[in-house]
Chain A
Amino acid sequence: MNKATRKKIAGLLVITALTTALSGCNGAGDKTGEENSSQITVGIAQDLEDSLDPHKAEAAATREVLFNVFEGLYKPDCDGELIPAVAEDYSCSEDGLTYTFTLREDVKFHNGNTVTAEDVISSIEACADTSGGTPLIPAFSNITGILKQDDRTVVITLAERDADFLSYIASVKAAIMPAGQTDADTNPIGTGPYRYVSRSVQENIVMEKFDEYWGEAAYIENVTFKVCADPDSLVMNLNGGAVDMMAHLPVSQAQQLSTDFAVLEGTMNLVQGMYLNHDFEPFADERVRQALCYAVNKDEILDIVSDGKGEQLGSSMFPNFRKYYLPELNETYSYDPEKAKELLADAGYADGLSFTITVPSNYPQHVDTAQVVAEQLKAVGVTAEIEQVEWNTWLSSVYSERQYEATVVGVDASNLTATAMLSRFCSDADNNFINYKNAEYDAAYEAAQLEIDDDAQTLLYQECEIILAEDAANVYIQDLAEMVALSNEFTGYEFYPLYVQDISKIRPAEQQ
């Protein structure tokens, strides 16, 4: 080898070695930086590909994060109770049509301004604005007037009584924002325990503790929501120390975490099922739907998909909605393949039935469940083909245009009302993507809506659930198990009955 070549090669080797050494140092440096417990990195499975304006944000994943930044007049706590937030109290008139909210004194926005009655009015008005066809919060079309009684009192009048009104007021969507803010899409200013600092597309969202928060202050100073888009490298990110906390972990991944993590178990608060398009001819027949329900073995699905974790369901309501949930509905159709075959034969499908299950591919739990369901259906002579589609194709072909036969998805609630789960099954509902038409159901739902007495109303909503279960409206499967991994350096995680990650309750472990 001549001199010049040797020199060149040596030079290249030095460069490579340098880069390696450099990266070696950094690896170590990162680690010490993360030892600081007043900083937490929370993994999120997808970026907030959305407006950061809570009124406009539609994705559950966005609301889950914005919960830390924004508050409504009221807000939910971890038991699903509504607690005062920007308002300190409210009163409702006898007829249920006038709500008077008393604002808490000296609630500060993250920009330092004090929340005024004007801010509250403009925020509620924005959510009730009908210029976009339907208001941002559809139930707010019921509002007939928002008045400032004095600097600390806002009166909202309704056209009709609505027992759920406070639940809507307490959703992140009805957050109080500064009046007249024009850049809310990219610069969220709320009143919550954390203040928005910055975002980087597909990388992270950074927040810091808001020192002038009116309520119980958060424990941790800096929070980074880090986008971990690849589910397969998640375990490595956690075990490697880049992420301290991650919610919505599938059981399979949670099991692979090192002992540096505590794995907390909850449920996802959704109704996973094989939803059937009732306009697809075979599914118009009740017997066929019932046969499918009998043919599906929920025990086996839970065993395979999530090691037996999760809650089996029999209707469109999940267990954490304690008020409305009826556990006995799970037993409506217990696994009985023989009965399934009989029913299919009765319905004229003795020679078999085939259909396609469309599944959104970004939800591995639904794809897995669909696989098990398809396999179980084989035993009763039903051939179910699986077709994976990406989320937006699902949204437009299945949800919006209703061009599908069956689909496995989870339906969740955007606020703490029975309406959120049940309204979609009314014959003329916009979001009745299964084309469900049942006069009995419509009547029961209508009656529940009009009922004034709370207990009687609950019974009527439960009646709706019973109808859905007995009519085998869909093949109800489960409320999926949800695993949260939290580094041992932290403690204090709380599950909510809604899609929420409340970081303000999390504290460094030694402060217990």
Chain B
Amino acid sequence: MKRQSTTFWIGAVLAGMVLLFLLVGCFWTPYDPEAMNASMKLAGVSSAHPMGCDAFGRDVLSRVMDGGRSTLLVAGGTVLLGAGLGIVIGAITGYFGGLADTILMRIVDALLAFPSVLLALVVVALLGTGEMNVILSLGIAFAPSFARVVRGEFLRSRYLGYVQAARLAGASHFRILFVHILPNIRSVLISALLIGFNNAVLSEAALSYLGIGVQPPQASLGSMLADAQTYLFTEPLLCIFPGAVLILLVLGFGLMGDGLRTGRK
């Protein structure tokens, strides 16, 4: 019992630290994250620039603090929207089955095959650019996989004892779906959310090339990672700092999720 909650607390401390770091970034950064300085191009780690400078001579620490915020917003929003849609579709199809299942799952299949790049281009064409539209197009693209996972879980759960018991006790379908079953499948959901978050960070960076997403010079962790890849051999630290923040954040949430599950058992 004690060990499991340790896992939770390690995760909480990690995630908390990263979040605090990003929160500070909303109000204060050591330098203007967009200010360039040709003489500091690719400057290494120093006391003035604890994470060094990027290829434009911009302070990496400031950019990580600033970029982490937009990443958290976009990737977080994407995962929430994707998971929200996915849970609703998955719950309905898995629990009720029948015609709703057939129709909705065919739509999900169609979406799974539909390339997200094309979807993003359509969103830009119809709605224009901006962070909200990234969340929209990625959220829609991510929903099918959540829907499939959730559907599988609901399909299995609906005949389990506690669900039958709740039904006999006269609970409404809505209550059974979201109050009884949903909390019981959270471990699977948390894993899916974490992987989804990671994918969203990278997808956001990829989408900014299409004209949607965070546009330069505004930083995001994904685009910083992508830019730093060019210098992987000569300046590996450029890759490591934004990568570490991302990994610590996801790891922190992951450990919290783990600890929460086993801790409550």
Contact = CB atoms under 8 A, between A and B. Distances in A.
Contact between A and B in the complex (any CB pair below 8 Å): yes
B47 interface: no
A388 B227 CA distance: 15
B215 interface: yes
Interface in B195-231: 208-211, 215-217, 226, 229-231
Task: Give chain B's interface residue range (CB within 8 Å of chain A).
Answer: 20 to 34
A235 B229 CA distance: 10
A372 B56 contact: yes
A61 interface: no
Contact of A361 (B35, B36, B41, B210): B210
Contacts of A235: 230, 232-233
B233 A371 contact: no
B173 to A, nearest CB: 42
B36 A375 contact: yes
B241 to A, nearest CB: 17
A252 B230 contact: yes
Interface in A83-132: none
Contacts of B216: 367, 370-371, 386, 388
Given A252-B230, A372-B56, A390-B121, 10 more contacts: A231-B230, A256-B233, A256-B234, A304-B38, A304-B55, A367-B216, A371-B36, A388-B209, A388-B216, A390-B209
Contacts of B226: 232
A368 B232 CA distance: 18
A: contact size bracket: 20 to 34
Nearest to A255: B234
A388 B215 contact: yes
B145 interface: no
- Of the listed residues B38, B41, B234, the one surrounded by the most CB atoms of chain A closer than 10 A to its CB is B38
Chain A interface, DSSP helix/strand/loop, else mixed: helix
Contacts of B121: 390, 393
Interface of A: 231-232, 235, 239, 250, 252-253, 255-256, 300, 303-304, 307, 361-362, 367-368, 370-372, 374-375, 385-390, 393
B215 A303 contact: no
A304 B234 contact: no
Given A304-B56, A375-B35, A385 B215 contact: yes
B217 A386 contact: yes
Contacts of B210: 361, 388-390
B129 interface: yes
Given A303-B38, A388-B216, A371 B211 contact: no
B16 interface: no
The residue in B208, B211, B226, B234 that gathers the most chain A C-beta atoms within 10 A of its C-beta is B211
15 contacts: A231-B230, A256-B233, A256-B234, A304-B38, A304-B55, A307-B41, A361-B211, A371-B56, A374-B217, A387-B129, A388-B209, A388-B210, A389-B211, A390-B209, A390-B210
B208 A388 contact: yes
Nearest to A387: B211
Interface in B4-37: 34-36
